[in-house]
Structure 1
């Protein structure tokens, strides 16, 4: 049995942890470059908490709030130029996966010249600035991964900038920032966290440690399932549920940092790129059909996943996902054919211990989303 485990990111968890961490921010540099979206970090109080802590530490900052969902290559190059121009020396990412992934990519591009054709090469100089991440959704796990996922128009999909150099220096976990998240975002990000933990187990890079983490992440998702299924979005989801989901998400990030994702992600990217389907939702729509194949080829691992969910079959998992996600507009046969051809070219589809042919990928799309 040979494996390694590397997790250099410091975790600080609890309500108010950002505001109490002026000394931590002071240890990172003298001027922060804050990467976020237009609205949510202001709405949930996370940006105010960050700037209050920076003020207490005697630090200055610049806010770059141009990050959109599914960030583009162009926006991270623009962010890096802005960071150089303002004289910042460390990065803070606030938000869901899009701002945090963008923050990591900006830190990379700020630190060194990387031509666009080499952006996804994985070969970079070890000179990145310190990075702090503050997740405001529970699903991506980006606060503890070495990945930055960007929209890649040249390949009509999403592609990962990947290097151990992208592991954040520190991550602050405060589920209070998620209180105002709506039902759709809460559920889609929760399913993304589930997908990370599930795919991490169905990976040829899985280890005994990543599997142990994944089972715990799946179990924590299961603890929230009843609350999510019964929640109409009109009332506030209990904070303890938010905290469990955030824990499942961070664990899922640790899992895929070592195992990588597999076919569900590579296939889901096409739904996001071509249809704008939320990332976690896209994963959830495809997960059950993928696991039916995994159950035939990796029955013990699939049984472990179902046990952690307290479920008896992949069919039961599929029914749960349909109930929690609701209906999705169908794909055409032509779309299934096209998306399968793209998905089989992705690096992460090759992470599974078994080969998936293009026809099998097409069948997953068909059985999941083609009607009639």
Structure 2
């Protein structure tokens, strides 16, 4: 293999109460003028005030942009940039799920750049920007530990993948207590998103020894705890395990890459406004079943890590158990098909060619064990529709 290129946050604090240490982390980094980037729900539930209060208690002045939106768009990023450019800020503190964190990342890199954000999507690499301190409140995207952000182009509805060291937070405060209020659907969808991150990183053509161990550990924890976290939202053991696994999944895919699931997921989100984790969940069983024969040993090992297959099972048997187990997981967590979600059938089928084109353009499918052509992706979208 070629040399693995590993990038991680400079500071990573993990555990109950980690978010309260934000002022100390800023001091450690030599930062003094943060802009808090969050969303209306974080304000409503009091989490934004908790962070700004911790900063105020340490005599750290803090501005606030609280209008980040789910599945951030270039328009919503531009609103944040108006606030950022109007103040003398030296960093951003991102509080929320992947959408708030990705909004802050995009603001951090675009504040010093001209032109539309589409000029900076993959394959461009953006390696500079203001420092971002990420405080995730969902156990899913792993954005607190990745050098990537996904932003929807407001003009074209394309979900753009943007990458580079400029998108890597300098610090991440991973506090599972912030996830105790997550509702069932969000817990399920972000949890399966994390599972996709870990599984895709493990089977990716860019997998490496560093990410392999992290990915397997994350897969094991997620499959063991996701049902409990959904059914028992106050279960601290399950919530802590899911939160750590989400960060590990982010580390794994950021340093190995996602594959076909994520490549096909972004167009569904961009065109039909399906939440990112849910669109991944819709795709997970079918895309995995299509891919397993081209990385038999890896997928079989993943099945064993998730306790879907026994240690003594032949790889061929483990592959069948993996496909069956992922379908059962979706059933247990009530993951809808695109049709059940309410997407119009004619619009779905009329969009197949465009979705396949956008999926391939993201670059992620090229890292899949079985590399698809556009026609393969169209067939997979049709199978996912049929359920």
Q: Which residue of 2 aligns with 1:237?
A: 234
Q: Which residue of 1 aligns with 2:324?
A: 315
Q: Which residue of 2 aligns with 1:58?
A: 59
Q: Distance in 1 between matches of 2:127 and 2:228?
A: 46
Which structure 1 segments of 5+ residues have no match? Answer: none
User: Residue 92 of structure 1 aligns to a residue in which SS?
Assistant: strand
C-alpha distance 366-161 of structure 1, shift in aligned 2 (>3 A): same
Q: Distance in 2 between matches of 1:66 and 1:267?
A: 28
Matches within 5 A, 1:189-338: 189-228=190-229, 231=231, 236-312=233-309, 313=321, 314-330=323-339, 331-332=345-346, 333-338=349-354
Contact 1:112 1:125 in 2 (8 A): no
Are 2:372 and 1:370 equivalent residues in the alignment?
A: no
Q: Distance in 2 between matches of 1:322 and 1:237?
A: 23
C-alpha distance 340-178 of structure 1, shift in aligned 2 (>3 A): same
Q: Which residue of 2 aligns with 1:36?
A: 38
Q: Distance in 2 between matches of 1:245 and 1:20?
A: 21
User: Residue 35 of structure 2 aligns to a residue in which SS?
Assistant: strand
Are 2:18 and 1:2 equivalent residues in the alignment?
A: no
CA shift for structure 1 position 329: 4.3
Q: Distance in 2 between matches of 1:110 and 1:290?
A: 38
Q: Distance in 2 between matches of 1:206 and 1:154?
A: 35
Matches within 5 A, 1:336-347: 336-347=352-363
Alignment RMSD, CA only?
Answer: 2.1
C-alpha distance 340-322 of structure 1, shift in aligned 2 (>3 A): farther
Q: Distance in 2 between matches of 1:124 and 1:262?
A: 21
Superposed CA deviations along residues 124-159 of structure 1, whole A, max 9, x for unmatched, are 464x22210000000000001011110024553311
Superposed CA deviations along residues 22-68 of structure 1, whole A, max 9, x for unmatched, are 2222344222111111122541x432231122113211111101111
CA shift for structure 1 position 228: 4.5
C-alpha distance 123-266 of structure 1, shift in aligned 2 (>3 A): closer
Q: Distance in 2 between matches of 1:271 and 1:196?
A: 17
C-alpha distance 176-82 of structure 1, shift in aligned 2 (>3 A): same
CA shift for structure 1 position 284: 1.1
Contact 1:281 1:325 in 2 (8 A): no
Which structure 2 segments of 5+ residues have no match? Answer: 310-320, 340-344
Q: Which residue of 2 aligns with 1:49?
A: 50
Q: Distance in 1 between matches of 2:43 and 2:141?
A: 16
Aligned positions, number: 365
Q: Distance in 2 between matches of 1:325 and 1:3?
A: 41
CA shift for structure 1 position 226: 4.1
**Equivalent in 341, 348, 352 of residue 368 of structure 2:** 352
Contact 1:130 1:169 in 2 (8 A): yes
Are 2:143 and 1:142 equivalent residues in the alignment?
A: yes
Superposed CA deviations along residues 5-35 of structure 1, whole A, max 9, x for unmatched, are 2324311122222224422223442221111
CA shift for structure 1 position 202: 2.2
Contact 2:227 2:333 in 1 (8 A): no
Which of 263-272 and 109-118 deviates more? 109-118
Which of 329-338 and 145-154 deviates more? 329-338
Q: Distance in 1 between matches of 2:179 and 2:127?
A: 35
Q: Distance in 2 between matches of 1:303 and 1:11?
A: 32
Contact 1:202 1:294 in 2 (8 A): no
Contact 1:9 1:144 in 2 (8 A): no
